[in-house]
Structure 1
Amino acid sequence: MTTYSQPAIIWPEKYTPGETDNYASNEVIIKDLSVLDVWEYLIDTKAWPTYYNNAENIVVGDGSQTKLAANATFVFDTFGFHVSSKVEEFELSNDGNLARLAWSGTFGEGDEFSDVYHAWLIENLPNNRVRILTEESQIGKLPQQLAQTLPNPMINGHQAWLVGLANSAKNKTSY
């Protein structure tokens, strides 16, 4: 029997799932897609609103570009919040079989201040399949409230993001 070990998200200690106030994990595995197909639609924030209706007003850096890169800063509106973010992990393997993207983000003020870490892992699988995993770990009063909401809006929102991303990449949707 052949065994297979899947890569995992690399978590900064502060954001360890189960130690934070809210955590969401979503994954899809899709046939006839590759890491490179998906990566293009994930790193170009101009594409986000075309497949995910919960990401708006996205500005990368000074606004002169739309693609994320290592250490890039960006802001966007999601779940009714204006999130200030910084890319913490940006890696596409040399062979194109694995990609990692993660950003830290903050929103709110005072008692409403929240701190999040959102990570993506994309990997090619045997038989022309791709795995897309996204996870988010959140700290703050608002995330505490989200964690008590059923269904958890983060789970549903991120699943919509994954499905939209995969469909856009598969259909080569223009943006």
Structure 2
Amino acid sequence: MSSVASSGGDAARRRRRSTVALKESLRDLRNQLSLLNHQVSARLALKDVDLDCLELIARNGPLSPSALARGAGLHPATMTGILDRLQKGGWIVRERDPDAADRRAIAVRAVPGRNGELFRLYSGMNAALDEICEEYSEAELELIADFLRRARSAGTAATGDLANS
């Protein structure tokens, strides 16, 4: 075997190992973030799914309950219980949607004053991420952000495929 062919095979093996290591790191990160979110949920006396929905509302709100259910991948009937718990806890309010054609339409929005509790609980992770990001150049951060956006899009597509099969 020529050294060119051998080096090509070595490069392919290294690339496969790097790809596998990256996927394993993403799974490890997903698990660790899940554990962190579970700890935050427990401190706030919320269910994990409640925290997920609160994040969607805070980032994308105000939202209709049906739009929130679609975004969270949950059945609308399940969403009613989640919204009841979040409202009872003072995390969200339900208001008439002034932009909707149907006067009965409701919009859900996060209560702004409550964000401080969430920021405090995530402050350790946010500070650690700031330190990690300091070690990368602007170009490297842009590359990482692009990778994560593309990985999220792939996850969205895979989720849709599973939901539709």
Larger Rg: 2
Relative contact order, CA 8 A, sep 6+: which one is greater?
A: 1
Q: TM-score, normalised by structure 2?
A: 0.32
| Higher share of residues assigned helix | 2
